[in-house]
C-alpha cells in the first residue's frame, strides 16, 4: 500500500508538534443472516467520530471508533515497495464485553480489516487531517480460546494484505459453456473439448492412407 501524507500532516511532522493514534476497522458477518457487521476501535479512551481515508475508494469517510486503549495491539506493519504479501497479527483482549462480542458473536473468518494512522496536534489534541490507511486485508485465522479461571484470554487475528488477491488464479476454464454464460451466441470455444483430437494434413489431401502407393514409391514393388 502506497503511503501518501497530506500537506497538513507533512507540515505537522516537520514542526514535530504531533502524536499518533491507531484506528482499526472490522467488517465481519452475522452468523445467522450473513449480513456484514462493522465495528471500529482506536488506541485511546472514549468514543470518537473520526475521518479516515477509505483504502478501497480513496474517499474520506466518517466512522465511529470505540476507545480500546490497551485492549488491542497491532504487530509491526512492514512497508514494502513491491507486491510482497503483508501478514500482520492483531491481538484482542476478551476482557471487554464489546471485543468479546465481536469475536464470539460474529464470524470473523475472511472478514475485512483496515488499519489507519491518525496524527493529532499536540496543543489542541485535534486530528490534523483524515487518518491515512496503513493496512487493508482479510482475516485469515481467528482462533478463540477460553482462558482458565482468573486469567485473561486473548484472541490473535492473523490478517493478510489485499495484495494476496493478485496471487490467486482464475478457476474458470475456457469452455463453450463458460463462454456462453458471458454471451449466449458466442460460439468461439464450441470445439475446445475436441480440437486436440483433430488431425492436420499439411501439403497433402486428407483421407485414408494408401499403403500400396506408399510401398510402390519406396521401391518395394517393381
| CA distances for 137 relative to 75, 157, 219, angstroms | 14, 12, 74
Angstrom distance (rounded) from CA 192 to CA 189: 5
First to last CA, the chain: 80
The angle at the Cα of 39, spanning 49 to 162, to the nearest 5 degrees, equals 105
pLDDT at 39: 93
Angstrom distance (rounded) from CA 4 to CA 55: 11
CB distance 136 to 117 below 8 Å: no
Q: How many CB atoms lie within 10 A of CB 177?
A: 11
Q: Given the C-alpha cell 486485508, which residue does it identify?
A: 137
The residues, ordered by sequence, that sit 6+ positions from 56 with a Cβ below 8 Å of its Cβ are: 136
SS3 104: helix
pLDDT at 166: 56
CB distance 215 to 221 below 8 Å: yes
Angstrom distance (rounded) from CA 53 to CA 133: 6
β strands within the chain, DSSP E: 18-30, 36-42, 48-53, 60-67, 72-74, 87-93, 106-121, 132-141, 154-161
Name the DSSP class of 109: E
Q: Where are the domains of the chain?
A: 7-167, 176-217
Angstrom distance (rounded) from CA 10 to CA 16: 10
pLDDT at 92: 84
Angstrom distance (rounded) from CA 82 to CA 195: 41
Q: Which residues of the chain are under the pLDDT cut of 70?
A: 1-5, 80-85, 95, 147, 150-153, 163-173, 200-222
pLDDT at 2: 53
pLDDT at 97: 81
SS3 159: strand
Angstrom distance (rounded) from CA 19 to CA 103: 30
CB distance 119 to 128 below 8 Å: yes
Q: How many CB atoms lie within 10 A of CB 76?
A: 7
Angstrom distance (rounded) from CA 40 to CA 21: 13
Amino acid at each position: 500500500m502506497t503511503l501518501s501524507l497530506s500537506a497538513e500532516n507533512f507540515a505537522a511532522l516537520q514542526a514535530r508538534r504531533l502524536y499518533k493514534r491507531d484506528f482499526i476497522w472490522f467488517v465481519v458477518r452475522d452468523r445467522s443472516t450473513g449480513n456484514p457487521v462493522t465495528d471500529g476501535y482506536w488506541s485511546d479512551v472514549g468514543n470518537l467520530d473520526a475521518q479516515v481515508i477509505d483504502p478501497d475508494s480513496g474517499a474520506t469517510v466518517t466512522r465511529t471508533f470505540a476507545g480500546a486503549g490497551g485492549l488491542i495491539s497491532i504487530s509491526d506493519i512492514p512497508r514494502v515497495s513491491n507486491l510482497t504479501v503483508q501478514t500482520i497479527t492483531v491481538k484482542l483482549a476478551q476482557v471487554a464485553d464489546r471485543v468479546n462480542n465481536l469475536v464470539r458473536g460474529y464470524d470473523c473468518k475472511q472478514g475485512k480489516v483496515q488499519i489507519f494512522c491518525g496524527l493529532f496536534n499536540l496543543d489542541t489534541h485535534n486530528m490534523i487531517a483524515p487518518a491515512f490507511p496503513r493496512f487493508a486485508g482479510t482475516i485469515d485465522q481467528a482462533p478463540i480460546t477460553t482462558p482458565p479461571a482468573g486469567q485473561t484470554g486473548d484472541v490473535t487475528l492473523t490478517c493478510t494484505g489485499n495484495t494476496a488477491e493478485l496471487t490467486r488464479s482464475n478457476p474458470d476454464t475456457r469452455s463453450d459453456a463458460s463462454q456462453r454464460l458471458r454471451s449466449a451466441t458466442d460460439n468461439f470455444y464450441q470445439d475446445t473439448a475436441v480440437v486436440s483430437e483433430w488431425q492436420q494434413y499439411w501439403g497433402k489431401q486428407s483421407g485414408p492412407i494408401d499403403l500400396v502407393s506408399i510401398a510402390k514409391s519406396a521401391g518395394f514393388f517393381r
